[in-house]
Structure 1
Amino acid sequence: MYVQAYISSTQIEGKMHRVLHSPDEFRKMQFGLKYPAAFYGLFFISMCLLNAQNYDCQVLLQDKDITNTDWASLEPCLGVANSEGISVNTSENVWRLIKIAFDGVENVPAEVYGKIRLVLPAISVMELSNISMTRVEIVEAFGGVHTLSNDTSNGFNDEQMQLIASKVRYEWLGKGPDTYSEYDLISMGEIVCHLNESDIERMHADAFKAAAERIGGIESCPQIQLQAYAKLAMRKDAFGEVKNWSKIDVSIIGNIVNGLTQSELAVIDENKLKLNHFYVQKHKKNGKGRNGKGISTASNSNQTGVNKSNSRKAE
């Protein structure tokens, strides 16, 4: 025997009180309460398991006593390996475990490099010399380290970068400076800033123009390469003469604007230059503008968009 409630929605003293009409409605209410609770219970359990997995991965990736492992054990932990907080010691150990899993550097598949980008700087120069740069997946991986990290110091040193650029120049199948397409230049990432001046001179100006925003966004590009790209930018098939550059052009080329000479910069309106983040940052650091005057805080705010281009000139 069960108890049934037979009252409906009625207004009592200005308030609405809802009651059950039948055992079926009571069961519906139980259903409505039970399943959300089960959902949140499963969510809580999954989060606990995820945290436990992350902890297990950290233990695994930091364990320097492991002498035998496989790719199936390592792959689920690569999310931890690609976190910005990974230490140099952990990176070195992850690379050691990768070599164990594949029985040597020469056997590591091309697609694996793209999954361990923040670990790649732990590879020694000697080992880098044994890694083939014939495939685009590997080129993208080694050129894209800084795209995963805001810390530009967390990457290859000069010796490593020079070797990588040299290997890409000579080993990338069917590719060369005079055949690089827009997509090739974008795929190379930071590597484009370590090619020789002669390599940059041989590039097609139209391909460079299409990839200029990506190339100009590389903060760590050496001055010699910036100067070479600035010359390339002034070609007819790229952006043309500096005096004709629009606000958009000046903004797009990014750091490349710092490769221009003082006389070339002089023909660009200061308000256009203030829209270029890299120009403002360089001259703010130096404490001087194009004419030897300071760059104001107001001009720095112009970097967020063209709409602020009418801010007052720096004093």
Structure 2
Amino acid sequence: MATRTRLVLLFGGRSAEHDVSCVSARHVAAAADPDRFDVVAVGITRSGQWRLVELGDPLPDRLATDGPRVAPADIFAEPDTVVFPLVHGPLGEDGTLQGLLEVADIAYVGSGVLASAVCMDKTMAKLVCAHQGLPQCRYRTATANDDAARVAEEAIADLGLPLFVKPANMGSSVGVSRATTAAETIRALEVAGRYDHALVIEEEVNGQEIEVAVLGNAEPTASMPGEIVPGAAFYDYADKYLTDGAELLIPARLSEAATAEAQHLAEVAYRALQCEGMARVDFLYDADGRGMLISEINTIPGFTPISMYPRLWQASGLAYPQLIETLVELAVERYERRRRHRRVDL
């Protein structure tokens, strides 16, 4: 990165995580070194319009609604451009936006189409992890079209109570419910079904919630683990973004052996799912039995002031501005490598 790089922040989007994405973009823009980056902010409105945005300090909802409309082709046309996708959830984190960037032949931060799509779909990610022999909590899958009463009865018989019901393709705990009765399980299935057709039902694990940040392409590195102590029954959307109820502990309250286990499993899962650039690997730690259980892998983790991904790297010795610079360098390295392997002279 010998010259100043044009860094396009893409944020907002049409998913339920729109507001979180806007907050992430504002803080990445503030942390990016102006001597290294010419930051261009492009907000995607809830209706799908792309707009140039002046990133100051307005309310999150306004970040992606002000400014002139712009076409993606115009954004990507300028040389020395790297895109930093900060669009959380569907139509941003699920491989669709990554596919657009691949077709546009432009460097971008984070995982490619396949890893983004698989990690976004919790059912597919669990299948890959299971194939690799990685430890996970017990789970079942269902769809929004299934009979909720039957699904609830079978899930309770298999997994017991309490249990968690989640949309397969959503993040930030949107649409996630904890159910303690059959009636609550049926209701949880209905709530999750509003956000996705594919649903995941998981056993409750009585243990610590552990998160590890991973950084890199072919040779990823794991941060020290952090721990989340929820302020509610579980680490829900309000706990993550609206209140100060959750306690975030860095480093996590783990033994040296458990710390090493979390870091090792995070790197193995990262490679197994073909992640690149960055990801946050979440665990449930059952200290009295099964040890570290992989919960999910997030390929576009939050970058808000209270988000664990940048905080974990800061605690591990990599400050926020240097983290952004490293992510851009990894994006360029990946882009150049992929271009070398494309054959256009068939």
What's the TM-score, normalizing by structure 2?
0.24
Higher-RCO chain (CA-CA 8 Å, sequence separation at least 6)? 2
- Greater share of helix: 1
What's the TM-score, normalizing by structure 1?
0.26
Larger radius of gyration: 1
